[in-house]
Structure 1
Amino acid sequence: MSDLTYELIGQRLKTARELSGLTQSQVANYLGIRRENISYYENGTRPIDTITLSKLADLYGYSLTYFLKSEKEEDISSLSVAFRTEELSNEDLKVLAWAKRFARNLSSIKQLLEE
């Protein structure tokens, strides 16, 4: 079992961002921070607070635990949505994050009801 490090969290953040089709600049604008901070998080050179990590998890369509577990799970489910990323506004990104969080919550409720 490997230890959870900022580098591991950063690698997962970068992969999730790239799979979402977003640039570091778009994510930074969405969060209201400098693009360099996104790079620092993704490189694991700076710690990321849980509020920011939670916002990124929502935006990318992943659960927060995906980024915080020391071992990568084989079947990590993310929510994929097709869109053109170069034309997205910050408001569009907020709606996208909300929709992904809502869909993940519905999926969790469904799983609970099936148990």
Structure 2
Amino acid sequence: MCEMDLRSIDAGAVGFRQLMREHPETDTVVAFTDLMAMGALSAAHADGLAVPGDVRIVGTDGLSLGSLTVPPLSSLDVIHCGLAEAVTDLIERVLDGTAEPSEHVTVTPLPLWRESA
């Protein structure tokens, strides 16, 4: 039996429907990935909810694919904000002994405001 990828479009739709069933007052959803947000967006449309009128939906990857959804998906772009550079810097410092592997990398996401939020 094949299990659903928990970060997929389908998982986003399933999770969105469960959330709305259990908490119909929800007016904003921030999904773990843009793909999950796209699934939530699709489920909202199929269930007759207006986005962003009834519920706002935001993803967290900053994928350019989000600009093609209807309405275009708002997202928090983490990659743009130097995540790869910060991780690479930390790895270099761990390897040369100037940092501990337990150090944290912090980045501030760049909001990509589109029409879904």
TM-score category by the smaller chain? Answer: under 0.3
TM-score under structure 2 length normalisation? 0.25
Q: Write 1 or 2 for the structure with the bigger share of helix.
A: 1
* Higher CA-based Rg: 2
Q: Write 1 or 2 for the structure with the bigger share of strand.
A: 2
Higher relative contact order (CA 8 A, sep 6+): 1
